Structure formats: structure tokens, C-alpha cells
A and B are shown apart, each in its own frame.
Chain A
Amino acid sequence: SAVISQKPSRDICQRGTSLTIQCQVDSQVTMMFWYRQQPGQSLTLIATANQGSEATYESGFVIDKFPISRPNLTFSTLTVSNMSPEDSSIYLCSVEANEKLFFGSGTQLSVL
């Protein structure tokens, strides 16, 4: 199994600012994923982050808005840039290990 530590667990931010969410895994993993769950909606994949290469973004998500770092095999960050109230969501990181997916506990973001 993989244990994921994600922080912050929640934050309230002002419009126009940026927030960086951190995801730490207790083992080395090749692939890390970032999801968003907007209120009343299903989980949506934002991007896939592999160490040593640029993140791959899904349709509707761009690097300027959601820059991702993946400096090593146990850590990744997602930044939500120039936030607006529409960015209020739960953000989840996930890793694939032993053919299973493991998820962090999520970051609940509220943008005023």
C-alpha cells in the first residue's frame, strides 16, 4: 500500500491569490495524479505528473492555471493560480502502486 500525506487539508483564500497543495508519499511511485471535485460534481482528473517530465493535462486544464511540480518520486505539488470563486473545490492527489490507486485525504479550498 501507499500512505499519502496531503496538505493543507483546507484553506480559505482571496480572489486573485495562489495556493500550493503538497502531496507526499511514503514510497517511490512513478505516476502521481491530481483530481478536482467541484461541489455536486464527480471527481475529474486534472493532470498526470511523472518525475522528470512535464505534467500531462486533461482537456479543460492548462499549465498556467494549475502548474505542477514533481521534483522526485515521492513528492508533488499542485498550484491553483489566480484563484476565483469557481476554483472552490476539493483537490485530491493520487498515486498508483501495486496496480492499485491510493488517494490523499484531499484539500478543501474555498475562494472568496
Chain B
Amino acid sequence: GNSVTQMEGPVTLSEEAFLTINCTYTATGYPSLFWYVQYPGEGLQLLLKATKADDKGSNKGFEATYRKETTSFHLEKGSVQVSDSAVYFCALSDSGGGADGLTFGKGTHLIIQP
């Protein structure tokens, strides 16, 4: 079956540091890949996505590239801010992103210190 593995947190960084949150997946076929973010007290929201190999999703300074050869979709940001503190979920879908086909990772809690 499908599975998503992401680095465990919490990850604590100083403001303006470089961020990488690792995500690898196991899936049959060619899934779409997603990063969701949950800010404190809010619901999950889509951060970025990529639907095929070598695609790069980007949003709010975050980027992730769909690497089929390494089955990875690592999340990166060049300079983090305190407001980026949140829980980040990597996910895959083999049904175009519909919720009935989503498989989530366990989430990575990111803490940015001023």
C-alpha cells in the first residue's frame, strides 16, 4: 500500500535559517504529492503540490520538487520566519488529490525562534 514517511519533529530553527523537512513515499503508479500546513488554532491548508516527476511546487517561499528516482518530496525554504511555526504534513494521492485517496505522513512540528 501507499505510505509517506517524514522526518520527526519538533524541528527548532532560528529566524532566517534554511529549512529542509524530508519526505519520502512509497506508492504504486504515479501519485500526486502535497505539503499541507496547520498553523496554531487553524485547520490544515494546502501549501503546495506537484503532480508529476520533476515538477516543483512553490508557495510563500516554500518549495518542493517531485523526485521520482529517490521517491522524495522534500520541503525547503531559504529563510524561515517566526510566522512559519506550524505543523507540516507531507501527503500523496493516487486519485488526483481527492480526499478518499490521500495518504498523510505523521506531521513535522516546526518551531522558529526569533
* Residues of A participating in the B interface, judged by any CB pair closer than 8 Å: 4, 6, 31, 33, 37, 40-45, 48, 56, 92, 94, 96, 99-106
Contact = CB atoms under 8 A, between A and B. Distances in A.
Nearest to A104: B43
A34 to B, nearest CB: 10
Given A99-B97, A101-B97, A45 B102 contact: yes
Question: How would you classify the secondary structure of chain A's contact residues: helix, strand, loop or mixed?
Answer: strand
A40 B106 contact: yes
Contacts of A45: 99-100, 102
Nearest to A43: B104
Contacts of A104: 43
Nearest to B8: A40
Interface string B78-114: 0000000000010100000111101111110000000
B46 interface: yes
B69 interface: no
B91 to A, nearest CB: 8
Interface centre among B36, B44, B102 (most CB of A within 10 A): B44
